[in-house]
Amino acid sequence: MDVKKAISTDTVFQDLKSTTKTGVIEEILDLLIAAGKIRKENRAEVLNALLVRENKMSTGMQHGIAIPHAKTDAVEDLVAALAIKKEGIDFDALDGKPSHIFIMTISPVKRTGPHIQFLAEISRKLNQPSIREKLLLTQTKDEILQLL
């Protein structure tokens, strides 16, 4: 899967304001709603799915990356966002370090293929230290997309 099919300038968010895990999840979700990717009336359902998944096991990975994700029929196709908080926040990451790069995905319950393909591709890219470092130095959404 081409990551750029799922992430575009309207789903790239820089300079997150939130300072908590739940706050970051809600902020990215609200930005996706504002971008027209998720219907406002589905906010509670999508937020619940994200928080239930997060409570099962933190999606804070390592190397400053967190991948909050969920499956819900409140969306018809994969919805994805990339968000940055340069200062980082505690996201209960596996390595105990702050998370700076957030990849949120929401996908329909019965369509696992695109979800898994997207996560595999974005993980492959973010596994490269140079990509992670450059993402944190970007000034524009277009620079972020070029790195992907």
Asked about 69 being catalytic, the answer comes back as: yes
Nearest to 106 by CA among 67, 76, 80, 133: 80
What is the rounded distance in angstroms from the CA atom of residue 30 to the CA atom of residue 128? Answer: 29
SS3 of 89, please?
Answer: strand
**Active-site option among 63, 69, 100, 115:** 69
Nearest to 51 by CA among 22, 75, 29: 22
Tokens of 11: 């789903």
Q: What is the largest CA-CA distance in the chain?
A: 39
Element (H, E) at 61: none
Question: Looking at the annotation, which residues are catalytic?
Answer: 69
